[in-house]
Structure 1
Amino acid sequence: MNTVNLNSILRHHKLPCFSRDVTPSSLRRPHPSATTMEYAVDASEFTTYWRNMLFSLYATSTTLLLYGIYALLFILSLRTARRPNASEKRIFIVTTYTMFLLATAQMILWFCTTGISVRIVQDLIQQNTVESSLRLWRIYFQFDVAQNIVFVINNCATDLLFLYRCYIIWGSRWRVITLPALCILVTVVLGIVVTVSYDSMTQVHYIDRRAPFIMNVVTNAILVCLTAGRVWWMQREIRILIGAASPPRYAAVVSMILESGSIYWLCLILQVVAQSLAPSSASSIFLGLSTGLTQQVVNIAPTLLVVRAKWGDHDRDQTTKSRVFTPGLVFRTSSLEVGTSLRPTESASGIEMKRTSSEVFEA
Structure 2
Amino acid sequence: MDLSLVPPLGRMFLVAIWLETLLYGANCVLFAACMWVLESGRQEVHRLLFISTSLLFAMSSAHIALSLVQLLQAFGDPAVLATPRGSDVYWINEANPIYSAKNMVYCFSVFAQDILLIWRLYMVWGQSWKVCILPVVFEIVHIVAILTAATLLTRPGVDVFGRAVQAWGLSGWALDVLVNTGVTCAIAYKLWLVNKNLPDPVYLTAMFTVLESGAIFAGATIILFCLDAAGSVAGNVGISPIAQLATTTPLLIVVRLNLAKTVSKHSSAEDSLLTTRASSGRIEFDVPHSESTTQVTHDHSLELDTAQSVVSLGDTHRQ
TM range (shorter): 0.7 to 0.9
Mean Cα deviation higher: 321-330 or 84-93: 321-330
The answer as to whether partners of 2:53 and 2:250 remain within 8 angstroms in 1 is no
Residue 360 (structure 1) aligned to one of 303, 312, 319: 312
In the TM superposition, residue 271 of structure 1 has moved relative to its aligned partner by 0.9
Distance 1:84 1:253, change over 3 A: closer
The answer as to whether partners of 2:17 and 2:241 remain within 8 angstroms in 1 is no
In the TM superposition, residue 57 of structure 1 has moved relative to its aligned partner by 1.5
Amino acid at match of 2:165: I
CA distance in 2, matches of 1:53, 1:140: 17
The answer as to whether partners of 2:95 and 2:156 remain within 8 angstroms in 1 is no
CA distance in 2, matches of 1:140, 1:166: 37
Query: Within the alignment, does 1:228 sit opposite 2:176 as a pair?
Result: no
Question: How large is the RMSD of aligned CA atoms in angstroms?
Answer: 3.1
Alignment of structure 1 residues 41-190 onto 2, 5 Å: 44-45=2-3, 47-48=5-6, 51-118=8-75, 119=77, 121-125=80-84, 141-190=96-145
CA distance in 1, matches of 2:15, 2:85: 24
The answer as to whether partners of 1:109 and 1:143 remain within 8 angstroms in 2 is yes
Q: For residue 32 of structure 1, what is the aligned residue in structure 2?
A: none
Q: What CA deviation, in whole Å up to 9, does each residue of 1:259-304 have, x standing for no partner? A: 111111111111112213345xxx54x753x323311111111111
Amino acid at match of 2:128: R
In the TM superposition, residue 60 of structure 1 has moved relative to its aligned partner by 1.1
Q: For residue 341 of structure 1, what is the aligned residue in structure 2?
A: 306
Query: Within the alignment, does 1:319 sit opposite 2:261 as a pair?
Result: no
Normalising to structure 2: TM-score of the pair?
A: 0.79
Q: For residue 260 of structure 1, what is the aligned residue in structure 2?
A: 213
CA distance in 2, matches of 1:219, 1:107: 26
Q: For residue 292 of structure 1, what is the aligned residue in structure 2?
A: 240
Q: For residue 283 of structure 2, what is the aligned residue in structure 1?
A: none
In the TM superposition, residue 203 of structure 1 has moved relative to its aligned partner by 2.3
Q: For residue 213 of structure 1, what is the aligned residue in structure 2?
A: 173
Query: Within the alignment, does 1:307 sit opposite 2:262 as a pair?
Result: no
The answer as to whether partners of 2:195 and 2:202 remain within 8 angstroms in 1 is no
In the TM superposition, residue 360 of structure 1 has moved relative to its aligned partner by 2.5
Distance 1:139 1:277, change over 3 A: closer
Q: Percent identity?
A: 18
Distance 1:296 1:267, change over 3 A: same
In the TM superposition, residue 224 of structure 1 has moved relative to its aligned partner by 1.0
CA distance in 2, matches of 1:148, 1:214: 17
Distance 1:117 1:276, change over 3 A: farther
CA distance in 2, matches of 1:229, 1:221: 12
The answer as to whether partners of 1:190 and 1:212 remain within 8 angstroms in 2 is yes
Q: What CA deviation, in whole Å up to 9, does each residue of 1:316-352 have, x standing for no partner? A: 222335777559955269x76666527xxxxxxxxxx
Amino acid at match of 2:297: F
Amino acid at match of 1:207: V
CA distance in 1, matches of 2:85, 2:190: 62
The answer as to whether partners of 1:55 and 1:287 remain within 8 angstroms in 2 is no
Between structure 1 and structure 2, the one with the greater Rg is 1
Q: Which runs of 5 or more structure 2 residues have no equivalent in the other structure?
A: 273-288
Matched length: 288
Normalising to structure 1: TM-score of the pair?
A: 0.70
Q: For residue 16 of structure 1, what is the aligned residue in structure 2?
A: none
Q: Which runs of 5 or more structure 1 residues have no equivalent in the other structure?
A: 1-41, 128-132, 240-245, 343-354
In the TM superposition, residue 149 of structure 1 has moved relative to its aligned partner by 0.8
CA distance in 2, matches of 1:276, 1:139: 18
Distance 1:144 1:233, change over 3 A: same
Residue 194 (structure 1) aligned to one of 141, 149, 156: 149
Distance 1:356 1:315, change over 3 A: farther
Amino acid at match of 2:203: Y
CA distance in 2, matches of 1:52, 1:195: 20
Q: What CA deviation, in whole Å up to 9, does each residue of 1:168-226 have, x standing for no partner? A: 11111111111111111111111110011124314244232222111100001110121
Secondary structure of 2:203's aligned partner: helix
The answer as to whether partners of 1:167 and 1:176 remain within 8 angstroms in 2 is yes
